[in-house]
Amino acid sequence: MLQHLSVTLSLISVAVILLHLGGIVAAAHALMHTRTPQGAVAWVFGLVLLPYVTLLPYLFLGSKHFTGYAELHHSRLARRRTLDDPASRQLALHYPPHAGAERFSAISAMLGVPFLGGHRLRLLVNGSAAFEAMFAAIAAAEQYVLIQFFIIRDDPLGRQLQAALLERAAAGVRVYLLYDGVGCHDLPASYGEALRAGGVQVHPFKTRRWRNRFQLNFRNHRKIVVIDGVRGFVGGLNVGEEYLGKKPPLAPWRDTHMELQGPAVNELQLAFDENWHWITGDQIALRAPPAADGQATSLVAATGPADEQETCSLYFVQLINSARRRLWLTSPYLVPDSAVISALRLAVFRGVDVRILIPSRPDHRTVFLASTLNAYETVRSGIRVFRYQPGFTHQKVILIDDDTAGVGSMNLDNRSLRLNFEVAALNLDPVFASEVEAMLLADFAQSLEIDTGDYLKQSYLRRVAMHVARLFSPVL
């Protein structure tokens, strides 16, 4: 009995030593590769002192560089070549941007993508309008359909998408579908198998050749639909019944999508092709968008961890810094980095009307607690924060002054700002901006504004929980 106990204790001792050695090795990796000093301190101390609880999470959350994809960053290179070729220069001459786009020139230079005029825009408020428009566009496709979502459910809406893609593939249209491997972890294999059997090309987006199932960083959060290179859709909606507001307790679900037609659709399909190339090694034969006669100036901002800069965070900072009269933002999560928070505070000092719309109900409780604490602190700095009351708001919209509005997949959290692949359309058009203004005014009218004293009204234990939740902001 004593001998058996001695062997057991020896094995435990060896396991403890190995865990601590692994923690030290991982801490060295975190020290060299974590992007922020705060994150490095948190990981190093956790891995050295408590490897029993931090080593496994670090294996799946600690990686901050997407080196493999960066080496194969085909779309960015293609964009730069396209910007330099004669056809692209002619495109810029034929579709000159609105003069107001000059104040966003840093975004254009950062992404290597020009602002172009000549776009037609359509605001799609909530899932019913968005999916009706997207299914109608898919049904009219003649050459190819590009579809990319973070989440696809095997539910009535997901099966409606499946049927629509199979119908087009049967008609001889090339159909390409990408979905995120983690976002769609519960999508049954039979869903993709039925599509492949019907001629649809289907692939999950993988960020690693191994351990992808549990690699929570570097997810593909983009929502892209492109039809024949002519019509593009982008926004916050995924494919599932909850996005139609049919699943309590988050129902009704508030979201926003948009359609654009014009030269920027090319950037939208190049963003898709970049991801497709990474997964398959193949590039898709794409059409250049046909002549457009709209009045809007647009730029498609595709950001992600393969960029040399933290492009999503810088995108928000530049947009905030450009505001002179008004800056209204909507996001399901309010866990921004210090650069974005500082830009928002400076906007208030410039006299800008800064408002942020967030949910009143949680879909992820830890994120909700951290968002709540950040909301209380931003209110004290003069930023107005509203909680949407009817249901869950998932939209990612920004309105700047009277002429600029952006719609996309970018949240105000660390995952969008640094870790995920995201996409948005930034548009200069007073008519479209006025439609977004009317939409947001209706949302604010159904919201409650957070007061500076609300923090102290919370119980002490809830305040502690909020502060603890915010400690996890780098991985939320």
CATH number of the CATH domain containing 323: 3.30.870.10
Torsion of CA 164, 169, 170, 173, to 10 degrees: 120
293 and 162 in one domain?
yes
338 and 285 in one domain?
no
**Region 182-199: what's the mean pLDDT?**
94
Task: Report d(CA 265, CA 289) in Å as an integer.
Answer: 7
Task: Report d(CA 360, CA 349) in Å as an integer.
Answer: 27
User: In the annotation, is 401 catalytic?
Assistant: yes
17 and 122 in one domain?
no
CA 404 to the chain's CA centroid = 20
pLDDT at position 262: 94
Residue 306, in any domain of the structure = no
> At residue 344, what is the residue type?
L
440 and 335 in one domain?
yes
Residue that terminates a domain, selected from 43, 62, 81: 62
Task: Report d(CA 221, CA 238) in Å as an integer.
Answer: 9
Q: Which of 394, 403, 413, 429 is catalytic?
A: 394
Q: Which of 255, 307, 337, 401 is catalytic?
A: 401
Number of domains in the chain: 3
Q: Which of 73, 98, 257, 396 is catalytic?
A: 396
- Model confidence at 48, pLDDT cuts 50, 70, 90, reads confident
Residue 83, in any domain of the structure = yes
Q: Which of 119, 223, 307, 443 is catalytic?
A: 223
Task: Report d(CA 243, CA 233) in Å as an integer.
Answer: 16
Q: Higher model confidence: residue 46 or residue 103?
A: 103
Residue 254, in any domain of the structure = yes
Residue 127: name the closest of 232, 221, 239, 227 by CA: 239
Q: Which of 180, 228, 273, 443 is catalytic?
A: 228
Task: Note the pLDDT tens digit of each residue in 73-85.
Answer: 544 455 444 545 5
Token representation of residue 10: 């020896």
Task: Note the pLDDT tens digit of each residue in 218-269.
Answer: 789 999 999 999 999 999 999 999 999 999 889 999 999 999 999 999 999 9
pLDDT of residue 213 exceeding 50: no
440 and 379 in one domain?
yes
Query: What is the maximal distance between C-alpha atoms in the chain?
Result: 87
Residue that terminates a domain, selected from 268, 301, 334: 301
384 and 254 in one domain?
no
Task: Note the pLDDT tens digit of each residue in 384-414.
Answer: 999 999 999 999 999 999 999 999 999 999 8
User: In the annotation, is 403 catalytic?
Assistant: no
User: In the annotation, is 228 catalytic?
Assistant: yes
Express as a percent the part of the chain with pLDDT over 70: 82
Residue 108, in any domain of the structure = yes
120 and 35 in one domain?
no
Residue 356, in any domain of the structure = yes
Task: Report d(CA 147, CA 103) in Å as an integer.
Answer: 32
Give the structural domain span for 418.
311-475
Length of the chain: 476
461 and 423 in one domain?
yes
Residue that terminates a domain, selected from 13, 40, 62: 62
**Region 196-201: what's the mean pLDDT?**
97
Token representation of residue 182: 């983690």
Task: Report d(CA 311, CA 418) in Å as an integer.
Answer: 8
23 and 112 in one domain?
no
User: In the annotation, is 223 catalytic?
Assistant: yes
